[in-house]
């Protein structure tokens, strides 16, 4: 066999392996899947936060994105119940299946990209960055959320692997702002997401769009957003605990401990099965992905 024929054989093999992984990811819960080579992180992530820092010899990162709330849930008039299902997102399930497939069927190392902080607030590896580098979306004016051109808001998981795979290009065009949002901005000085949560009226979002129709500047008040969008969870547990400890009146302290609010906070901390996110307003008004949420 000539070298050219061997190269062609290897390319076909690469196509086949990459297709098999992507098909599997979509079958087991992913809505989108992309592959990024590890050297793309060098430009954007500091040492200690790159795929090779977690899996020596890593070559690629497979990124899977899945929808959270269903199309029906987006239509609910009660914003508190849009919710996603605890922490068992389908993107996590899909990435576990992909990692097992790579190790058991292909014989290469694979590990889920570590995204939950092991200390402080910074994740070991950013899944938002991973999604961008794998060509699945771009940052938006709404809380920096990575918007996919077809689905809008997605939840991401990633798998670092030593397997050689075909990689995807990053998106050339920014998903946000949508042309309709640019028109709205020109009219009222705000895009729909900014108008739904304006920082000058106690909300979290602000920004400007340049003459070219691209994001010129943006600001997002993360602390304020957490206090509004996540009322039950670790933050509320810590907040309530401080207030309970400070309460001198024993009867009042007892009622605070047994209150619905504190009970719910305890449940969400222990099981993460309580409602942990109660605000999606900036995404509810976002036109990106709306077509996918339009059903009968």
- Residues near ligand SF4, by CB under 6 A: 140-143, 176-178, 181, 191-193, 196-197, 203-205, 225, 228-229, 279, 281-282, 285-288
Helix (H) or strand (E) holding 119, with range, is: none
Q: Which is nearer to ligand SF4, 123 or 287 (CB)?
A: 287
* 133, 39 Cβ separation under 8 angstroms: no
Cβ 285 to ligand SF4 shortest distance, Å: 6
> What's the token pair of residue 287?
């036109």
Tell the smallest beta-carbon distance from residue 244 to ligand SF4 (Å): 26
By C-beta, is 178 or 264 nearer to ligand SF4? 178
Q: What is the Cα–Cα distance from 110 to 16, expressed in whole angstroms?
A: 18
Side-chain-side CA neighbours of residue 199 (13 Å): 17
Closer to ligand SF4 by Cβ: residue 22 or 178:
178
Helix (H, G, I), strand (E, B) or coil at 109: coil
Helical segments of the chain, H only: 3-27, 41-44, 51-54, 71-74, 90-101, 127-133, 179-188, 192-196, 222-229, 234-246, 250-257, 260-271, 281-284
Q: How far is the CB of 181 from ligand SF4 (least distance, A)?
A: 3
Query: How many residues does this entry show for the chain?
Result: 296
Interatomic CA distance for residues 255 and 1, integer angstroms: 80
Q: Which is nearer to ligand SF4, 85 or 144 (CB)?
A: 144
CB of 240 to ligand SF4, least distance (A): 20
Nearer to ligand SF4, 96 or 228 (CB): 228
Give the nearer residue to ligand SF4 in terms of CB position, either 29 or 68. Answer: 68
Smallest gap from Cβ 117 to ligand SF4, in A, equals 19
- Confirm if 206 and 215 have CB atoms less than 8 A apart: no
Omega before residue 275 within 30° of 0, cis: no
Q: Is 186 helix (H, G, I), strand (E, B) or coil?
A: helix
- Residue 196 CB, nearest distance to ligand SF4 (Å)? 6
d(CA 220, CA 203): 9
CB closer to ligand SF4 out of 31 and 281: 281
Element (H, E) at 202: none
| Smallest separation, CB 5 to ligand SF4 (Å) | 48
């Amino acid at each position: 066999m000539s070298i050219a024929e061997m190269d062609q054989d290897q390319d076909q093999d690469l196509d086949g392996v990459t297709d098999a992984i992507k098909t599997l990811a979509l079958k087991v819960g992913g809505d989108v899947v992309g592959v990024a080579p590890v050297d793309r992180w060098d430009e954007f992530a500091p040492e200690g936060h790159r795929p090779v820092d977690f899996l020596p010899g890593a070559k690629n990162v497979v990124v899977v994105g899945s929808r959270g709330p269903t199309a029906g849930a987006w239509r609910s008039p009660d914003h508190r119940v849009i919710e996603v299902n605890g922490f068992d997102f389908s993107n996590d399930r899909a990435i576990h299946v992909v990692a097992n497939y790579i190790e058991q069927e292909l014989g290469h190392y694979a590990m889920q990209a570590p995204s939950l902080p092991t200390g402080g607030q910074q994740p070991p590896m950013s899944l938002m960055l991973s999604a961008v580098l794998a060509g699945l979306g771009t940052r938006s004016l709404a809380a920096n959320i990575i918007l996919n051109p077809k689905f809008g808001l997605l939840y991401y998981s990633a798998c670092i692997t030593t397997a050689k795979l075909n990689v995807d290009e990053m998106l050339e065009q920014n998903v946000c702002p949508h042309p309709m949002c640019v028109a709205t901005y020109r009219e009222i000085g705000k895009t729909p997401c900014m108008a739904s949560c304006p920082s000058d009226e106690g909300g979290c979002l602000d920004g400007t769009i340049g003459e070219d129709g691209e994001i010129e500047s943006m600001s997002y008040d993360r602390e304020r957003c957490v206090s509004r969008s996540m009322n039950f969870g670790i933050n509320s547990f810590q907040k309530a605990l401080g207030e309970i400890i400070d309460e001198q009146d024993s009867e009042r302290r007892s009622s605070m401990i047994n209150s619905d609010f504190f009970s719910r906070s305890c449940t969400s901390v222990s099981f993460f099965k309580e409602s942990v996110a109660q605000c999606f307003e900036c995404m509810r008004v976002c036109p990106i992905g709306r077509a996918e949420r339009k059903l009968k």
